[in-house]
Amino acid sequence: MNSDRRKGIICIILAAFFFSLMSLFVKLSGDVPTMQKSLFRNLIAAAVALISLIRSGEPFRVQKGCLKDLLLRSAFGTLGILANFWAIDHLALADANMLSKLSPFFAIIMSAFILKEIPSRFDWLCVAICFTGALFVIRPTAGLASLPALVGVLGGFGAGTAYTFVRKLGKKGERPLIIILFFSLFSCVSVLPFVAADYHPMSMRQLMMLLLAGLSAAGGQLSVTSAYRFAPAKEISIFDYTQIIWAALFGIIVFGTFPDAFSIAGFVLIAGAAVLRWQHARTKQG
């Protein structure tokens, strides 16, 4: 396995960890409106990216030919966040999480159109195994045939498409901090009017949870942006499903909820698909 692919896999697993941590803090923040949660998520990420960019001494300049892709990445990413948060508010949390895990599947599909990176049959097999594992873990209900469920699917599509544009920007040489800062500011400006019109006062605990959610999101964004710069979606997207395993661990540690036999079977399928994909990549390189 070459160095870039290995780095991409490590970064996508780190991103899954941070985004799972973000979801935990968002859940712990309680009954704060969706737009308000989204604003804090992206405001902290923007601040972290801005400070990092200033400390690096790099110029605040978008690479030539990247503005359109930055706008598309930001628009689809904002759509993904808002749809996912809205689905969480209107669906059982397990169903909403399962729908959000469609994003790697959409990333592979959209890569074929946007980047002309055609997945192999083996890539599709790994995605199918991993998605089946996700279904074992989540066990979606009949409620998925509802409007909130369709919004949840839209969230997965938005996130997956955004990741594809991250990969495209990386191939053009755009810097991760610029991608994160541009997206975070775009998202903040998009939701600010809604938050101003319907702001809900928060307790100190809720504020702290959302600040931690924002910091976790910043770590996730930096990791996922780096991941798709290092390697194509068809080679590393499968590892994003490890977020379900992280979520299960947080559930055990924080809420004392232990996985049942179905969940364990799902974890085995997810981890098995990831290991299979890794081994296949190593064999091809060898």
The answer, yes or no, to whether residue 203 has pLDDT greater than 90, is: yes
Percent of the chain exceeding pLDDT 90 equals 24
Could you list the residue range(s) of the whole structural domain that residue 72 is in?
A: 3-285
**Is the confidence at residue 286, as pLDDT, over 70?**
no
Three state DSSP letters for the chain: CCHHHHHHHHHHHHHHHHHHHHHHHHHHCCCCCHHHHHHHHHHHHHHHHHHHHHHHCCCCCCCCCCHHHHHHHHHHHHHHHHHHHHHHHHCCHHHHHHHHCCHHHHHHHHHHHHCCCCCCHHHHHHHHHHHHHHHHHHCCCHHHHCHHHHHHHHHHHHHHHHHHHHHHHHHCCCCHHHHHHHHHHHHHHHHHHHHHHCCCCCCHHHHHHHHHHHHHHHHHHHHHHHHHHHCCHHHHHHHHHHHHHHHHHHHHHHHCCCCCHHHHHHHHHHHHHHHHHHHHHHHHHC
Taking residues 181-188, report their average pLDDT: 93
Q: How many domains are there within the chain?
A: 1
Which range, 124-128, 139-143, 154-158, 263-267, has the best average confidence (pLDDT)? 154-158
Give the tens place of pLDDT for each residue, 34-56.
899 999 888 888 898 899 889 88
Q: What is the pLDDT of residue 270?
A: 79
146 pLDDT band, cuts 50/70/90, is low
pLDDT at 282: 66
**Mean pLDDT computed over 63-91:** 89
- Residue 191: pLDDT band (50, 70, 90) is very high
pLDDT in tens, 96-108: 776 787 787 788 8
pLDDT at residue number 143: 57
- pLDDT > 60? residue 16: yes
pLDDT for 245: 80
